[in-house]
């Protein structure tokens, strides 16, 4: 199943307990090709050869200077890093915001069905707000947080994000993080949340499976799989296909509650 197939969720007789925390770049935002273009524009300025999409996904890691070191086979100098940051930002500022196919409709269905949702990214906060406004999804989230301080990890940001929403930090068993990198899995594990990683983002499927996390091939599949991970999240709910056939979501399946590993900024 991919993000293009529309599913709706029948509203629960009781308010669903699952809280969705969505990642932005590579997850809801369809920007792998833009990020690859920004990387290659940067490499050109540095006098290096470009890379292809497969190489980008295979080598992607955080922090980003380590990513460049993997691509180049050597660390960047201070001046090179300043050049890389400037060119990367310049290139991306000229690209329109594109969401994954079906993302906006899925977010709206989840909100209509009573699920709470928030957005967390290591993209600079003001830029994240501008991009969500441009894509028309700001109103679908209870809270939106981007990176406000250099060096913030996704795990630190997630803990602060949940605390700001009044969620106690003693194990977030009702929280489901949907992202596209090993770093997202690490962040979820640190705070005790569930996680599903989706393919087609910044890291390839082989890398995602290294995180010992549940992996899905699209947004809809990630939601379906994730709802099986969160205890009691599906009471009174059912997925409905476009044909109108109701498909109750099975109860929690602990055997697929797998967590795992890594960090990102681009």
From 101-110, 213-222, 232-241, the region with the lowest mean pLDDT:
232-241
Determine the average pLDDT of the residues in 225-230: 92
Determine the average pLDDT of the residues in 187-200: 95
**pLDDT at position 163, please?**
93
Tokens of 150: 């250099």
**pLDDT at position 171, please?**
64
Of residues 15 and 102, more confidence is placed in 102
When the pLDDT of each residue in the chain is averaged and rounded to a whole number, the result is 84
Q: How far apart are the two ends of the chain, measured CA to CA in Å?
A: 27
Of residues 74 and 230, more confidence is placed in 74
Cα separation values, 101 from 4, 16, 41, Å: 5, 25, 26
Sketch the domain layout of the chain as residue ranges. Answer: 8-30+99-256, 32-93
**pLDDT at position 259, please?**
30
Tokens of 53: 């999409």
8 A C-beta contact, residue 177 and residue 195: yes
Q: How would CATH label the architecture of 8-30+99-256?
A: 3-Layer(aba) Sandwich (3.40)
- pLDDT bin (cut points 50, 70, 90) of residue 169 is low
Instruction: State how beta strands 238-240 and 246-248 pair.
Output: antiparallel
**pLDDT at position 167, please?**
83
The pLDDT tens digits for 26-70 are 999 999 999 999 999 999 999 999 999 999 999 999 889 999 999
Instruction: State how beta strands 238-240 and 143-147 pair.
Output: unpaired
Using DSSP's 3-state secondary structure scheme, residue 258 falls into coil
The pLDDT tens digits for 92-139 are 999 999 999 999 999 999 999 999 999 999 999 999 999 999 999 999
Using DSSP's 3-state secondary structure scheme, residue 130 falls into helix
Q: Name residues whose C-beta falls within 8 Å of residue 202's C-beta, 6 or more positions apart in sequence.
A: 25, 26, 32, 35, 56, 57, 60, 180, 181, 264, 266
């Amino acid at each position: 199943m991919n993000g293009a197939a529309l599913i709706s969720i029948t509203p629960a007789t009781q308010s669903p307990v699952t809280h969705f925390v969505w990642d932005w770049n590579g997850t809801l935002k369809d920007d792998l090709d833009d990020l690859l273009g920004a990387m290659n524009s940067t490499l050109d300025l540095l006098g290096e050869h470009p890379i292809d999409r497969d190489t980008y996904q295979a080598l992607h890691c955080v922090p980003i200077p380590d990513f460049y070191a993997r691509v180049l086979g050597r660390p960047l100098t201070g001046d090179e890093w300043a050049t890389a940051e400037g060119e990367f930002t310049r290139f991306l500022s000229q690209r329109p915001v594109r969401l994954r196919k079906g993302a906006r409709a899925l977010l709206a269905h989840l909100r209509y069905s009573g699920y709470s949702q928030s957005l967390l990214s290591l993209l600079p906060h003001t830029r994240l707000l501008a991009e969500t406004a441009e894509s028309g999804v700001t109103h679908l989230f209870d809270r939106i947080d981007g990176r406000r301080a250099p060096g913030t990890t996704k795990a630190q940001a997630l803990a602060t994000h949940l605390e700001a929403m009044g969620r106690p930090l003693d194990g977030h068993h009702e929280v489901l993080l949907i992202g596209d990198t090993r770093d997202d899995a690490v962040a979820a594990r640190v705070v005790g949340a569930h996680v599903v990683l989706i393919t087609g983002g910044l890291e390839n499927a082989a890398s995602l499976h290294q995180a010992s996390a549940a992996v899905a091939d699209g947004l809809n599949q990630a939601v379906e799989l994730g709802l099986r991970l969160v205890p009691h999240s599906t009471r009174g709910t059912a997925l409905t296909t476009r044909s109108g056939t109701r498909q109750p979501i099975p109860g929690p399946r602990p055997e697929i509650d797998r967590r795992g590993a890594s960090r990102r900024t681009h």
